[in-house]
């Protein structure tokens, strides 16, 4: 229970604006775009979940690139110090600076890196079936539409100007390309050694970079193990 003294002189409250997105009242398009602009938060939550449950080195490296991308964005904003297009339009903001857009830089880093992962990192493309190639193209188109939607939402909701969104997209794309090739050429050869470290073994950190289709591999291994255990259990019961 709050004391009478606390209620009589309430403190000045501030909100955590990480997920606080404003849109014009009775604007259905703005509401949809406001939800769309929250996709980077959902992606971060997904990465943390994958790292906790999968503990795969490439996923950790991908997430590290996203963090580095955010650090670069913070530095660029405080170097350029360009204000947002409509000062005072939104009451709650992480920072008053808008150049470059952090949402645009984040989503384009993610999408460009994912493009390179789909078409360069995933092996056996030449031997893949038409259906497998088709879903890659469909996923690429979907990711591109997501990146464009998130970028447009920041302009529509008056958080950024077009130039801020475009420069954010360019910066995120460049960092995504650079980080992918750093991961591919410099970090991936080290993954087997890192996975063999005692601390990695303790936390069950693993390297699956040589497995082209990890979902199919895990499915077949799990199914084979389940059948093997069921066979053993049936033998004991006889």
- The predicted-structure confidence for 70-100, as pLDDT tens digits, reads as follows 999 999 998 888 888 876 666 666 677 778 9
Q: Are residues 92 and 132 in the same domain?
A: yes
Q: Are residues 119 and 226 in the same domain?
A: no
Task: Give me 162's structure tokens.
Answer: 């077009």
Residue 9 falls inside a structural domain: no
Asked if the model's pLDDT at residue 125 lies above 50, the reply is: no
**Would the pLDDT of 229 be above 90?**
no
Question: From its phi and psi, is residue 26 left (phi > 0), alpha (psi between -120 and 50) or beta?
Answer: left
Query: Which range among 41-45, 71-75, 207-211 shows the weakest confidence by mean pLDDT?
Result: 207-211
* 15 in a structural domain: no
Q: What tokens does 148 get?
A: 């464009």
Q: Are residues 225 and 113 in the same domain?
A: no
pLDDT band for position 1 (50/70/90)?
very low
- Tally of residues, the chain: 238
- Domain co-membership, 203 together with 237: no
What is the percent of the chain where pLDDT is above 70?
A: 82
165 lies in a domain? yes
Whether residue 236 is found in the same domain as residue 162: no
In a domain, residue 17? The reply is: no
If asked whether residues 233 and 157 sit together in one domain, one would say no
Encode pLDDT of 149-171 as tens digits.
999 988 888 888 899 999 999 99
Q: Residue 8 domain-assigned?
A: no
> What pLDDT score does 4 carry?
54
Is 10 inside a domain boundary? no
User: Helix axis angle, 130-156 relative to 102-116, nearest 10°?
Assistant: 170
What is the radius of gyration, based on Cα positions, of the chain?
A: 23
Q: In this predicted structure, what is the pLDDT of residue 176? A: 94
DSSP state of 183: I
pLDDT confidence band for 224 (50 / 70 / 90): confident
**For the chain, what is the domain count?**
2
Do 43 and 132 belong to one domain?
yes
Its domain, for residue 228, covers 212-238
> Do 194 and 219 belong together in one domain?
no
Band of residue 108 on the pLDDT scale cut at 50, 70, 90 = very high
Average pLDDT value over all residues in the chain: 82
| Cα 238 from Cα 234, distance rounded (Å) | 6
Q: Is residue 106 within 8 Å of residue 166, measured between CB atoms?
A: no
- Shared domain check, 149 and 225: no
In a 3-state reduction of DSSP, which class is residue 111?
helix
What mean pLDDT do residues 9-26 have?
68
Query: Are 163 and 235 contained in the same domain?
Result: no
User: 139 and 234, same structural domain?
Assistant: no
Q: Does any domain span residue 54?
A: yes
Q: What is the pLDDT of residue 62?
A: 92
* Whether 124 and 231 share a structural domain: no
Q: pTM, whole model, 2 decimals?
A: 0.83
Each residue's pLDDT tens digit, 175-191: 999 999 999 889 988 99
Per-residue pLDDT of 189-200, as tens digits, reads: 899 899 899 998
Residue 132 inside a domain? The answer is yes
Which is nearest to 171 in space by CA: 39, 69, 68?
69
């Amino acid at each position: 229970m709050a004391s009478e003294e606390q209620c009589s002189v309430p403190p000045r409250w501030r909100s955590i604006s990480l997920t606080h997105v404003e849109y014009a009242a009775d604007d259905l398009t703005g509401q949809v775009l406001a939800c769309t602009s929250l996709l980077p938060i959902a992606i971060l939550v997904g990465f943390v979940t994958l790292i906790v449950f999968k503990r795969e080195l490439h996923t950790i490296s991908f997430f590290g690139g996203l963090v580095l991308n955010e650090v670069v964005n913070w530095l660029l904003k405080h170097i350029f110090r360009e204000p947002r297009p409509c000062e005072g339009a939104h009451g709650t903001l992480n920072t008053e600076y808008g150049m470059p857009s952090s949402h645009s830089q984040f989503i384009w880093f993610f999408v460009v890196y994912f493009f390179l992962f789909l078409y360069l990192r995933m092996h056996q493309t030449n031997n893949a079936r038409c259906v497998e190639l088709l879903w890659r193209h469909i996923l690429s188109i979907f990711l591109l539409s997501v990146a464009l939607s998130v970028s447009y939402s920041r302009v529509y909701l008056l958080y950024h100007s077009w130039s801020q969104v475009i420069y954010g997209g360019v910066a995120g794309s460049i960092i995504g390309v650079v980080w992918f090739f750093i991961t591919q050429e410099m970090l991936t050869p080290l993954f087997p050694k890192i996975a063999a470290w005692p601390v990695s073994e303790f936390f069950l950190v693993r390297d699956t970079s040589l497995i082209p289709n990890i979902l199919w591999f895990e499915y077949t291994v799990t199914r084979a193990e389940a059948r093997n255990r069921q066979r053993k259990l049936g033998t004991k019961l006889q």
